[in-house]
Amino acid sequence: MKNHKIALSGIVLLFVTFILSSCAVIRPGEVGVKQRLGKLTSKIHESGTVGINPFTTTLIRIPTRTVNLEVNLNLPSKEGLNVLSEISILYHIKPEKAIAVIEEVGLDYEEVVILSVFRSAAADVCAQYLAKDMHSGNRSDIEASILKRMDDLLGERGFEIEAVLLKSISLPDGLYTAIEDKLRAEQEALRMEFVLQLERQEAERKKIEAEGTRDAQLILTEGLNDQIIKLRSLEVLRDLANSPNAKLIITDGKAPVLLGEEGTE
């Protein structure tokens, strides 16, 4: 009876072990493909549990979530310098292409295709730019060009390249100083141009002001003819004649001359 219980416990343990080994779990962000006797099945399994025969079948898991692949690489520049760069490649595998990736590339797809294509694309693109351009506003153009080349080569093979990010650029010794000197020179040139512009505006203002004064004087001079002067003199004589104060006035009828007032000697 005791031996019978031990045998039964062993059978139950084997059965439980078989059941457990017959279930595989696919995590979120993955898909699974069964490989039965060395051949891949045509069905792609999404996240969840999948039943398999542990004696004939294995489950190959392929990540479909976004993967951040970081690379340190010396990039060639247009002038022949090597620029050390830290780059992130964001990509994911298209779920519907999981079987094609396994069959055509294998599980070592990062080294086989992604890094190989990236190194070639990055070298071709960066060789068209000066080293200082990789450290300036052209960085986004370089990233976009590398991404496009990679997507053209890898898109149909089941890889979606989401972004190529130049995280850090280490320029050769002395180039940083040269760039900083150039930037300072450009800023000084802009400042001087601004000062000259202000001086030109001030000179223009003074010129306009001088022309206005000259024109006013010309108008005044042209307007003071003999008739107007005589008329103004008569108006002055009339005002003096009507004045209650006694004054001694000598005149030739053209221009009055005031010599004194009442009470003065």
* Whether 73 and 173 share a structural domain: yes
* Whether 74 and 125 share a structural domain: yes
Domain assignment present for residue 196? The answer is: no
Q: What is the pTM of this model?
A: 0.57
* Whether 50 and 74 share a structural domain: no
Q: Is 88 within 8 Å of 114 (Cβ atoms)?
A: no
Segment 219-226 shows an average pLDDT of 61
Q: Which residue has the higher pLDDT, 61 or 234?
A: 61
185: helix, strand or coil: helix
Q: How many helices (H) and strands (E) does the chain have?
A: 8, 10
* Whether 101 and 57 share a structural domain: no
Segment 244-262 shows an average pLDDT of 55
Domain assignment present for residue 220? The answer is: no
Whether 120 has a pLDDT exceeding 60, the answer reads yes
* pLDDT band of 256, cuts 50, 70, 90: low
Domain assignment present for residue 140? The answer is: yes
Domain assignment present for residue 203? The answer is: no
- How wide is the angle at C-alpha 167 spanned by C-alphas 166 and 171, nearest 5°? 80
* Whether 9 and 41 share a structural domain: yes
Number of domains in the chain: 3
* Whether 104 and 170 share a structural domain: yes
pLDDT for 85 equals: 87
Q: Is 255 within 8 Å of 237 (Cβ atoms)?
A: no
* Whether 58 and 113 share a structural domain: no
Chain segment 34-52, per-residue pLDDT in tens: 888 888 888 898 888 787 7
Chain segment 201-212, per-residue pLDDT in tens: 888 888 888 887
pLDDT for 82 equals: 81
Query: What is the CATH classification number for the domain harbouring 157?
Result: 3.30.479.30
Q: Which residue has the higher pLDDT, 53 or 73?
A: 73
* Whether 21 and 55 share a structural domain: yes
* Whether 23 and 115 share a structural domain: no
* Whether 168 and 232 share a structural domain: no
pLDDT for 262 equals: 45
* Whether 166 and 102 share a structural domain: yes
Q: Residue 75 is part of which domain span?
A: 67-177
Beta strands in the chain (DSSP E): 23-26, 30-36, 39-45, 48-51, 57-63, 67-76, 82-93, 159-170, 247-250, 257-261
C-alpha span between 53 and 162 (Å, rounded): 37
* Whether 89 and 41 share a structural domain: no
* pLDDT band of 20, cuts 50, 70, 90: very low
